Amino acid sequence: MYSYNDFDEAFVRERVSQFRGQVERRVDGSLTEDEFKPLRLMNGLYLQLHAYMLRVAIPYGTLNSGQMRQLAMIAERFDKGYGHFTTRQNIQYNWPKLPDVPDILGALADVEMHAIQTSGNTIRNVTADHFAGAAADEVADPRPYAELLRQWSTDHPEFQFLPRKFKIAVTGSVNDRAVIAAHDIGLQVVDRDGQRGFRVLVGGGLGRTPMIGKVISEFVSEADLLPYCEAIVSVWNLLGRRDNKYKSRIKITVHEHGIEDIRARVEERFAHVKPTFGGVDQVLLAEITEAFAPPVYRATSVAAYEAVRDANPAFRSWSDTNLSAHKVDDYAIVSVSLKKQGETPGDASADQMRVLADLAERFGHDELRISHEQNVILPHVAKGDLPQVYAALRDAGLATANIGLISDIIACPGMDYCALATARSIPIAQQIAVRFDELKLEHDVGPLKIKISGCINACGHHHVGHIGILGLDRAGVENYQVTLGGDGTQDAAIGERAGPGFSAEEIIPAIERLVFGYLDLRSEPEETFLQTFRRLGMEPFKAVLYPDKEGKRDAA
């Protein structure tokens, strides 16, 4: 993976040192909160309901074991012994104290990490497919491009005061695991006529006004990637609505001007921008690509793995749900669930982080990934090592066999932590997961993505959940709206609102009705919830969600 060069190192260290001075001046009273707030946000430091929160970027979700151990150390020394992995491949610490934050940033810099541009109206952490570099179905590893974009966007002088935040995601595969259609720019690596390039989407996003990204170009060559992205951001930087925060994102700009108009403006701008790049980006890209060379794979006994699979039903169940196809036959991609039923989605204790770091080092070519679905990935595990990996995960409470199932829920921190939230998300996720575990139904129900947001900003991606849950404040009471039929893959779709919301007490039984309703409605056990919804539409699901209403309608 990529290692900082002298420039990166000096830049990050300087920012830590600047922030140390800023914190000192805030603490001694020479900076007011109004003066300090933009400075702390530039360094990922928020002030939440109960404490400060530090959001640390994990570029394209990639970590090595040393970095994971440092995240564990920070959790233990400066926080309450855990960290929260987010839907944007970041980690958040919920309890740092202001005077400690410069030391935390220093500890991050020691392992080539930082919290720069994890907040504010800038280009945020560039995210990527969490199976990058390992997936059997990918055209190319998207991470070199994500790293190139990270270097280009970090402290980019033109893009420090954008109309609003700006998010870029990259996938190297047709099967989109990075939700690129819900990003300001979504990039898909493609090969065309022997040439490497990108299919480019623009103007996707969730939040208050959810939009699926539109194709601005079917093919941008590798050499044109940075100038083309610069042209997009530059056009929006001038055109984007600064008068109204709710209309400032590029999705609204694209919606208001139309994709043809935006495409024409971007192409015009591109013609100006392209000559200014002069090829240095391609030199960098070549160096970066070298840093992402695949590991030297080892040969292990697949027979031993098969034997344990036959002998141990728990291992078999876990390997059925938590393994994905690796591009090398005798390897597997291991998804480690941070969704043990009843636990907080995305949270890992310092001990668990160290177990994951050790496993990556011993069995995983020293690589870890964080997924936007708030799980941890060991991308390169030889099949012969899987029984040992499984045993270690089980001992650490990390062997929950539920990837892609109903309890593998995305949930934002909600009003348990977040100052913007309008309702809690975590307890709803916990209760749903526990309920379906009690019913022993998860595996019968099959693939089902529930995504929960505690406010309209949609950090929990509820719009693209097969079942989406949005927590709102209705006249001083928590209320949960249900959307159905959302999809975050290459067939991206925004979920449709089912009807009136439910109270905190009503929402779990409502989800239960919905799932039992699906089991009755599906044409065969292989038909997934989403397929059934697409076949039948909203009405039959609405009928099971709102049985009383249906009864009244029948009676009328």
Partner 1 sequence: MAKAFTSKVVTANALLEGDAVWLTEDDRWTHDIAKAELLTDEAHADLRLIEAQMRQHEIAGAYLADAIETPDGPAPVHFREDFRTRGPSNYFHGKQTEA
CA distance linking residue 72 with residue 63, whole number of Å: 13
Site string for partner 1, 317-346 (x = CB under 8 A): ---------------------------x--
Return the range that interacts with partner 1 (CB under 8 A); candidates 28-36, 350-358, 462-470, 495-503.
Answer: 28-36
**39 binds partner 1, rule: CB under 8 A:** no
The single residue among 416, 449, 533, 545 that binds partner 1, judged by CB under 8 A, is 416
**457 binds partner 1, rule: CB under 8 A:** no
Cα atoms in the 13 Å half-sphere on the side-chain side of 5: 7
Type of residue found at 185: I
> For residue 149, what are its two tokens?
């974009």
**194 binds partner 1, rule: CB under 8 A:** no
The single residue among 6, 7, 32, 524 that binds partner 1, judged by CB under 8 A, is 32
CA distance linking residue 14 with residue 145, whole number of Å: 26
Return the range that interacts with partner 1 (CB under 8 A); candidates 278-286, 326-334, 473-481, 529-537.
Answer: 473-481
* Number of residues forming the site for partner 1 (CB under 8 A): 32
Site for partner 1 in 7-26 (CB under 8 A): 26
Kind plus residue range of the DSSP H or E element containing 545: helix 538-545
Q: How far is CA 194 from CA 141, 222, 227, 283, in A?
A: 16, 12, 21, 20
Site for partner 1 in 203-242 (CB under 8 A): none
CA distance linking residue 382 with residue 297, whole number of Å: 8
> CA nearest 302: which of 382, 381, 390, 364?
382
Return the range that interacts with partner 1 (CB under 8 A); candidates 137-145, 387-395, 415-423, 517-525.
Answer: 415-423
The single residue among 59, 61, 210, 427 that binds partner 1, judged by CB under 8 A, is 427
CA distance linking residue 323 with residue 502, whole number of Å: 36
**80 binds partner 1, rule: CB under 8 A:** yes
**554 binds partner 1, rule: CB under 8 A:** no
Q: What are phi and psi of 186, to 5 degrees?
A: -115, 130
**488 binds partner 1, rule: CB under 8 A:** no
> For residue 181, what are its two tokens?
């259609």
Residues contacting residue 272 through CB under 8 Å, at least 6 positions apart:
none
The single residue among 39, 49, 136, 302 that binds partner 1, judged by CB under 8 A, is 49
**47 binds partner 1, rule: CB under 8 A:** yes
Cα atoms in the 13 Å half-sphere on the side-chain side of 111: 22
Burial of 124-162, coded b for 16+ CB within 10 Å and e otherwise, reads bbbbbbbbbbbbeebebbbbbbbbbbbbbbbeeeebeeb
Q: Is 101 exposed, middle or buried (0-12, 13-18, 19+ CB in 10 A)?
A: buried
Between 348 and 378, CB nearer to partner 1: 348
Which residues is 84 bridged to in the sheet?
A: 92, 347
Return the range that interacts with partner 1 (CB under 8 A); candidates 64-72, 90-98, 260-268, 444-452.
Answer: 90-98
Q: What are phi and psi of 20, to 5 degrees?
A: -60, -45
Return the range that interacts with partner 1 (CB under 8 A); candidates 27-35, 106-114, 398-406, 522-530.
Answer: 27-35
Return the range that interacts with partner 1 (CB under 8 A); candidates 41-49, 115-123, 356-364, 528-536.
Answer: 41-49
**245 binds partner 1, rule: CB under 8 A:** no
CA distance linking residue 99 with residue 210, whole number of Å: 38
Q: How far is the CB of 345 from partner 1 (least distance, A)?
A: 10
**478 binds partner 1, rule: CB under 8 A:** yes
**114 binds partner 1, rule: CB under 8 A:** no
**420 binds partner 1, rule: CB under 8 A:** no
Between 29 and 279, CB nearer to partner 1: 29
The single residue among 38, 99, 525, 551 that binds partner 1, judged by CB under 8 A, is 99
The single residue among 51, 259, 328, 536 that binds partner 1, judged by CB under 8 A, is 51
Q: How far is the CB of 176 from partner 1 (least distance, A)?
A: 31
The single residue among 5, 10, 77, 97 that binds partner 1, judged by CB under 8 A, is 97
Site for partner 1 in 343-372 (CB under 8 A): 344, 347
Between 48 and 312, CB nearer to partner 1: 48
Q: What are phi and psi of 550, to 5 degrees?
A: -60, -45
The single residue among 69, 265, 326, 424 that binds partner 1, judged by CB under 8 A, is 424
CA distance linking residue 549 with residue 513, whole number of Å: 14
Tokens 């027979």 belong to 303
Between 95 and 518, CB nearer to partner 1: 95
**33 binds partner 1, rule: CB under 8 A:** yes
**505 binds partner 1, rule: CB under 8 A:** no
CA distance linking residue 52 with residue 211, whole number of Å: 31
Residues contacting residue 408 through CB under 8 Å, at least 6 positions apart:
337, 339, 373, 375, 402, 449
CA distance linking residue 220 with residue 182, whole number of Å: 19
**48 binds partner 1, rule: CB under 8 A:** yes
Q: Which residues bind partner 1 (CB under 8 A)?
A: 26-29, 32-33, 47-52, 80, 94-99, 344, 347, 415-417, 424, 426-427, 430, 473, 476-478
